[in-house]
Structure 1
Amino acid sequence: MIEVVAGVIRDRRGRILLARRTEGRDLAGLWEFPGGKHEPDETAEAALKRELREELGIEIEIGAPLIRVPQAYPHKRLCLDVHEIRAWRGSVRGLEGQALSWVPPHKLADYAMPPADIPVVAALMQPDRYLVTPEPGADDETWLGALEQSLATGIRRVQLRAHSCEPARWRALAGQAVARCKAAGAQVLVNGDLELARALGAGLHLRASQLAQFAERPRSVDGLVAASCHTTEELQAAQSIACDFAVVGAIKPTATHPGATPLGWAGFSGLREVVSLPIYAIGGLVPDDVAEARRHGAQGIAAIRGLWSG
């Protein structure tokens, strides 16, 4: 595993610096977050300071860790360790002949990047928590009230899921839930039901068993498309149909699957390597696990009990 460090460098306008890989290197012409290889006798922090001094001519103060992305390429495996840069001094220059670009955050996804850098953009721009709703109880208003409480905690991505709810009741309840999510500024996806997602103007979250039904991204979905995955093949299928993100687990033992062997963080990292999709970890996780999830390449956590306020 090759250890690579990179920094998220911002200017006074909030733009983020990208560097273009030069001719003669792997993945030449693609844009990446500046950094480089970690020498065996260096700490990650020392390596990042050295690399940005050598590549850009700046002195930096390293801020919070953002994400570590393990990624398998045809001829190598690497782990990209990305930190926010709290402050920097000097005049940014491409000292190795590389082109540089200061990019507004909302335009980062427009730049072609190596697979390991793509989840970094998601970590900067997308929610780190993905709420999966529990089955509605006997009272719809109680369930909707709990949803609103969850949204009030800052949840901005929600999957509406109810396997045992009577269809007509669920259709009406989901419609109210979509309206409340959108009013709160949250992205909302419907589990497994393409027609309901279309009717409600919501995104679609595919079950793993549904992936084989699609040769391309489901059309006329007014929102995000995501998938639950458990294997390399399922993740590759989700990426091939241009899903926006995936969910992988279970990381820890859960009450809903008491006999299942948990994947664990090592197992999650192994699956993380095979695609460039943003991936949420799921299974027995709570908000305090977000930092650990990021250390293994996750976008963040998905959860029912860990994120539901009811």
Structure 2
Amino acid sequence: MLHPPSRLVEVVAGVIRDARGRVLLSRRTEGRDLAGLWEFPGGKREPGETAEAALSRELHEELGIEAEVGAELIRVPQAYPDKRLVLDVREIRAWRGSARGREGQALVWVPPHKLASYAMPPADRPVVAALEQADRYLVTPEPGVGDEDWLAALSASLAAGMRRVQLRAPQLANAADAQRWARLVAAAVKRCRAAKAEVLINGDLALATSLGVGLHLRAAQLRELSQRPIASSLPLAASCHDADELRAAQALGCDFAVLGSIKPTPSHPSVLGIGWEAFAALRESVSLPIYAIGGLGLEDLGEARRHGAQGIAAIRSLWAPV
């Protein structure tokens, strides 16, 4: 089974910012599950309540503030030993009052870039990634015969806002064409760095290490490793297809994963995707940020976030032709 047959708890939480842009965290008090960990403020949704009404009520009871609930950020399904939880996180557009721990809980205002350093429950960790990391993960297509055209299309994609890129060309990255691919990758890395985009290389540890960039593991590589292959200062990701691979990626110390295929793709139109419900069920097994992949475009970002995804990964829909 993908998750234990246990009770489902619906929880709402808010991203509350102060005038300096810092985000409010609340510490779980002694006597509660996961005591001592930091979380986004909120609480359980009662039967018959809307998410907005529940969050407004919880923030008043917990913090003594009047909150104006804004847009959805992400819904995170998460399995715990004794329950299944869905954490529905909303932006708080505005709030009035003086936030204080009315239930004896400690509070702290945290600069966004430091949120990841706070120990949190598993369901809250993907929320930090949703706030701070790219919601699109571009996977490059094969270069074909025109290297300059490929590099120009990469530059156009970066100009269009891509900030996380996987350099991938399985047909080119073989012994006969390895030198050509290495030259292309070096040129691509320069362009990504100039655009302040995070870059990972598919499968090639030696090339990633030599260029000082991240590594994206294939599922087969993931199964062969027992420890993180690159420094913790460099991003590490993995392609996954089931719960075992997701758990392996998390145990290895991957920073994020890619999961799919969600829908049929142009390259495999007859292969049915797993769909969003299966994606959400698999997402419950780990606390990693996970991109959904397979037949997806920018129009799917909202649906992806509602099922716990960091965002979408894609080739065709994110690659800017020139």
TM score, norm. by length of structure 2: 0.95
Query: Is the 8 Å Cα contact of residues 297 and 312 (structure 2) preserved in structure 1?
Result: yes
Q: 1:220 and 1:28, CA in 2 relative to 1: closer, same or farther beyond 3 A?
A: closer
Equivalent in the alignment of 1:168: 179
**Which string of whole-angstrom CA distances, capped at 9 and with x for unpartnered residues, describes residues 23-60 of structure 1?**
11110000000000000110000000000000000001
Q: Work out the CA distance in 2 between the residues paired with 1:210 and 1:187.
A: 21
Q: Give the secondary structure class of the aligned counterpart of 1:217.
A: coil
Counterpart of 2:275 (choices 253, 264, 268) is: 264
Q: Give the secondary structure class of the aligned counterpart of 2:57.
A: helix
* Structure 2 unaligned spans of 5+: 1-7
Equivalent in the alignment of 1:84: 91
1:236 aligns with 2:232: no
Query: Is the 8 Å Cα contact of residues 198 and 220 (structure 1) preserved in structure 2?
Result: no
Counterpart of 1:245 (choices 232, 256, 265) is: 256
* Structure 1 unaligned spans of 5+: none
Amino acid at match of 1:144: L
Amino acid at match of 1:84: E
Query: Is the 8 Å Cα contact of residues 68 and 79 (structure 1) preserved in structure 2?
Result: yes
1:298 aligns with 2:309: yes
Amino acid at match of 1:284: G
Q: Work out the CA distance in 2 between the residues paired with 1:208 and 1:298.
A: 19
Size of the aligned set, in residue pairs, is 310
1:29 aligns with 2:40: no
- How far did residue 220 of structure 1 move? 4.4
Counterpart of 2:221 (choices 203, 210, 225) is: 210
1:51 aligns with 2:58: yes
Q: 1:276 and 1:220, CA in 2 relative to 1: closer, same or farther beyond 3 A?
A: closer
Q: Work out the CA distance in 2 between the residues paired with 1:23 and 1:68.
A: 26
- How far did residue 200 of structure 1 move? 1.6
Q: Work out the CA distance in 2 between the residues paired with 1:244 and 1:115.
A: 14
Equivalent in the alignment of 2:195: 184
Q: Any runs of at least 4 consecutive aligned residues in structure 1 with deviations exceeding 4 A, and if so which?
A: none
Q: Work out the CA distance in 1 between the residues paired with 2:268 and 2:214.
A: 26
Amino acid at match of 2:79: A
Equivalent in the alignment of 1:275: 286
1:129 aligns with 2:136: yes
Query: Is the 8 Å Cα contact of residues 202 and 221 (structure 1) preserved in structure 2?
Result: no
Q: Give the secondary structure class of the aligned counterpart of 1:60.
A: strand
Query: Is the 8 Å Cα contact of residues 203 and 221 (structure 1) preserved in structure 2?
Result: no
How large is the RMSD of aligned CA atoms in angstroms?
Answer: 0.9
**Which string of whole-angstrom CA distances, capped at 9 and with x for unpartnered residues, describes residues 142-185 of structure 1?**
00000000001100000000011121110111110011001100
Q: Give the secondary structure class of the aligned counterpart of 2:79.
A: strand
Q: Work out the CA distance in 2 between the residues paired with 1:222 and 1:111.
A: 17
Q: Give the secondary structure class of the aligned counterpart of 2:12.
A: strand
Query: Is the 8 Å Cα contact of residues 190 and 202 (structure 1) preserved in structure 2?
Result: yes
